[in-house]
Amino acid sequence: MSDEARESWIRQRIEMLTGQTLTAPPRIFKDTTGFMYIDRGDIIDLEGRLFLVRGHEKEGRFGIDDQPKFWVKGALSLEDGQRYILKLRWEESFRIHIGDMEVHCARSGEKEARALELVRGDLRFMQGCAARDSQNNLIRVIDFIDGTDLIHYVDGVDMPHEQYFHELFPRILAKTVGAFRAIQLLNDNGLCHGDIRNDHILVERGTGNFRWIDFDLNQNSSRYDIWCLGNVLHFVVGKGFITFRELTEARPELADRFSMEDASVFFPNRVMNLRKAYGYVPAKLNEILTRFSIGATACYDTIAQVVDGLADCAHSMGCPVEEVAKPQ
């Protein structure tokens, strides 16, 4: 196909898919190294596959809403018209402290590509494949998931905690256990998720499936994933992030009930011993929560230990964990 014919085809496809007419020649990027310069309306060419950039993906974190991630582009395939997420090459490293443990984290597209290959067909995870640009940068082409993250899903429940805990939480717990079991699959195959957060679980519209996204962080501790699961468990049990300050301001009678031993090792401002605030939290479930607290006398060595205990809790609350079909 000549350059003129190719440009004509691109114009036709863009108009067909978006209803927009190009007023200037399309900018086509085969090299994505300078991802900051790739913007809405540009074309990314990955090994002959053409993607129309529709914008930068965003996330809210550390109190900053809608923070753009310029290395992650929302895109339309000009071939099949489907939505994709393009994760371009971006390198960073940092250190995190969990109690006395220091964890070194580094972003790795290669590691995420290996994980995508491992979980192909397993709908507990995002799906996608790796591709290379003209400069051999590794790009992950991720299938778009129509859903909302777990934070917004739970925050959208408009009912008091006790009603939530008895009416909705058992089903959410069962789904959470299934998601934790998925992480066990990664660990059993020598991989980690690396960035386990509540907003990295998407609740898929239509199916209600919990699906993990964003596993391009790597770290030097095999227990990091385990500790991060404790943060997710805290959130779903508490119907949000429960801090000492907010809890005691809302319920002053609890002020003398807590000590630092009840705090999360990961986030010392959060209450992990939630049974002291919500007496209807079962003792066994609370015992699992407090394994992630500063006052814990024993910690988890494997995700299987966490999963087994939580599965028993879900079963006792009348909502057994459903098995998810694995890829053949």
3-state secondary structure the chain: CCHHHHHHHHHHHHHHHHCCCCCCCCCEECCCCCHHHCCCCCEEEECCEEEEEEEEEEEEECCEEEEEEEEEEEEEECCCCCEEEEECCCCCEEEEEECCEEEEEEECHHHHHHHHHHCCCCCCECCEEEEECCCCCEEEEEECCCEEEHHHHHHCCCCCHHHHHHHCHHHHHHHHHHHHHHHHHHHHCCCCCCCCCHHHEEEECCCCCEEECCCCEEECCCCHHHHHHHHHHHHHHHCCCCEHHHHHHHCHHHCCCCCHHHEECCCCCEECCHHHCCCCCCHHHHHHHHCCECCCCCCCCCHHHHHHHHHHHHHHCCCCCCCCCCCC
- Name the percent of the chain lying above pLDDT 90: 78
Radius of gyration for the chain, computed over Cα atoms and rounded to the nearest angstrom: 22
- Name the percent of the chain lying above pLDDT 70: 95
> 44-69, pLDDT tens digit by residue?
999 999 999 999 887 654 444 567 78
Give yes or no for residue 3 having a pLDDT over 50: yes
Q: Looking at the domain 3-143, which fold is it?
A: Phosphorylase Kinase; domain 1 (3.30.200)
Average pLDDT, stretch 31-37? 94
Which CATH number is associated with domain 147-316? 1.10.510.10
The position carrying tokens 């939580």 is 310
> 245-295, pLDDT tens digit by residue?
999 999 999 989 999 999 999 899 999 999 999 999 999 999 999 999 999
Domains 3-143 and 147-316 share a fold: no
pLDDT for residue 97: 77
299 vs 99, residue with greater confidence: 299
Average pLDDT, stretch 9-28? 91
Average pLDDT, stretch 12-22? 92
> 203-248, pLDDT tens digit by residue?
999 999 999 999 998 887 778 899 999 999 999 999 999 999 999 9
**pLDDT averaged over the chain?**
91
What the block records as the tokens of 308 is: 């087994």
> 127-149, pLDDT tens digit by residue?
999 999 999 999 999 999 999 99
pLDDT for residue 320: 85
Q: How far apart are CA 265 and CA 127, in angstroms?
A: 32
Q: Domains of the chain: which residue ranges? A: 3-143, 147-316
